[in-house]
Amino acid sequence: MRRSDLPERRERGPWWNPWWMGIDKLQEEISRVFDEFSNRFMPPVLGGGAISVDVYRKDGNVIVEAELPGLDPKDVDIKVYEDKVILRAEKGASREVESEEVIRSERYYGKISRIISLPVEVIPEKAKAKFKNGLLTITIPEKEPEEEGGYRINIEMED
């Protein structure tokens, strides 16, 4: 699922202008390109691994699924905010290799993190997480949209 498959976050108020739709789409495209670039090239350069995620909405909740193979849930730190989730984890080496000649070393050990933007505001204190077979599933209830401020007044009819 692509980020563009999710509904737009911007609420249309009296200040809204169709011009903003173009800016939103441009920002979305730049974010997508940056995410693809960082997931492919930056982790090896920075010495970190990438956390692959899916984000979707279901039954009034935002669901974040993150692949964390080989990690123990006690080594995963989750922080949920109204508009984002921050995942941090640390994977220690499972064993020391005492060979002088390492033929291939592709497994990553160390710290990894990911900031995931959410499509709508959520209620962080009601978030729940489950971990099964290397898949972390975070379920966060969506925040009900608040009615815009101001006072509604009645119109009196004049004779």
pLDDT in tens, 47-101: 445 789 999 999 999 999 999 988 899 999 999 999 999 999 988 766 666 767 7
Using the 8-state DSSP alphabet, how is residue 5 labeled? G
Q: With contact defined as beta carbons under 8 Å apart, do 134 and 65 qualify?
A: no
Report how far residue 67's alpha carbon sits from residue 87's, in angstroms, rounded to the nearest whole number. 11
Which CATH code for domain 49-141? 2.60.40.790
pTM above 0.75, yes or no: no
